[in-house]
Amino acid sequence: MLRTRPRPAIVSAIVGMKHYETAISLLRQMEFFGIRRDVYTFSILLNCFCRLHRSDLGFSLLGKMLKLGIQPNTTTFTTLANGLCVEGKLAEAVLLFDEIVRNGYKPDLITYNTIINGLCKVGYTSGAIRLLRKTEQSGYLPDIVTYSSVIDRLCKDKLVTEALNLFSEMTGKGIPPNVEVTRLSTEMVANNCEPDVVFYSMLVDAICKEGMVSEAHDIVEGMIQQGVDPNTITYSTLMDGYCLQGRTEEARKVLNLMITTGCIPNVCSYYILVNGFCKLKKKDEAIELSHEMSKNGLVPNTVTYNALINGMCQHGHVHEAVELFHIMQNRGIEANIVQCSILIDGLCQVGQLNVARKLFCAVPLKGLHPDVFTYSIMIKGLCKEGLPNEAYELFRTMEVSDCSQDSCSYNTMIKGFFPNVDASRAMKIIHEMVDKGFSADSSTATMLLDLSCRNGGDQSIFELLRRNYEDDQNVNIK
């Protein structure tokens, strides 16, 4: 071992195995062989001393570093602060923190978390919260470690409201709870701080967003065992978690459980499952569920009908979607432009252009205004049926209908001309599109390249593509 002259990477591995005395010995051998130490190797040695609860030797080492002209970094000071906290010398750790700030060093998030955790362990919760806020002011986003330390301390102090507020703040910032946070409910009970349905619902929501639906289900079962009844929000959140994973059968079981426990589903609860069934092409189950809603005195809302109509159209059941659209209107629910656009698209997809055209013309009569999406769908349908001139007229109508063309409508019109062998008109529209600052999508660009190749490498097309993609990192045309 002596002859191999151990490198810092090897020493780091030994430290990782918690063989601190061995690491110290090897680092001293490096010094004996004349291997020059740097801040990295000194920090490793300092960490070993602190792990062995010898922060005093760590400070001696810090003095040696300074004498040798080796400038300590943030990691060096964080390691020392952690060592002091582990030894219960929090006051000294806080003084060290203040000292490094005064001397121009910038603590990082690990440094802040180290001191916050130390403050929480000795019960100085208010100081920990102040430092958490200071962390944010210093430009760092507190992470799960920061919040977990403070929330855990608040629970132990029986400050349930404060713990819940901080937990809500954490999840609101998109920070997912880890296993430590999911154990908060157990700790709250152990400290005679009963978590309520609001806390559980937030926890279920946060965990479902991380894809941990089975764990969220366990939490719901746990809250029932603790005598806390899940509410509509809790059950609906769990159902949504299952549906996002395509597990609609489990979601249906949750709905059934919800009903049997006396918790009444609302329109949102049913919509979640209806939408889930539609995405999996389970049309019959979705329709049956909408009927169940009506039997239970709930009227499907516009969003629910959007999901049903979209699901039917996407899977080829356009005529049934049209029937449902009429049923919806007969029930007094006003149509919206989203539903009309979905139906127009569905009709175009199955070759029912004339019906789609009639519906498009009827949109203003319903008090609605076609948007860019609606126009693009109709333009695409007309081009598909070999009617590029009519599509172009509709495209130009947008300009006088207070509906400005966008990248999508331009690309749709361009792609409509190419298959109909009208490349010259397509090129004019492309120039117009680029001049307006819009970009060709990948399929339009492919068509342009094919046209260039057919024309023997037309440089004007290459130049047009260069202009179009000069700020695009994903395309490199040379």
Task: Express each pLDDT in 163-179 by its tens digit.
Answer: 778 877 887 787 766 55
Domains of the chain: 1-107 (1.25.40.10), 373-478 (1.25.40)
* Summary mean pLDDT of the chain: 82
Q: Which two tokens stand for residue 286?
A: 């979705």
Phi, psi at residue 413, to the nearest 5°?
-65, -45
Residue ranges of the chain whose pLDDT lies below 70 = 1-13, 19, 30-36, 176-195, 419-422, 451-478
pLDDT score, position 251: 96
Count of residues in the chain: 478
CA distance 256 to 273: 12
pLDDT score, position 242: 96
pLDDT score, position 474: 41
Task: Express each pLDDT in 255-289 by its tens digit.
Answer: 999 999 999 999 999 999 999 999 998 988 998 99
Q: Which two tokens stand for residue 73?
A: 């970094």
DSSP 334: P
Task: Express each pLDDT in 66-117 by its tens digit.
Answer: 888 888 888 888 888 989 998 888 889 889 888 888 888 888 999 999 999 9
- pTM (two decimals): 0.61
pLDDT score, position 68: 84
pLDDT score, position 460: 61
- Provide DSSP, 227-249: TPPP-HHHHHHHHHHHHHTT-HH
Non-local CB neighbours of 96 within 8 Å, separated by 6+ positions: 77, 80, 81, 84
Are the beta carbons of 120 and 153 closer than 8 angstroms?
yes
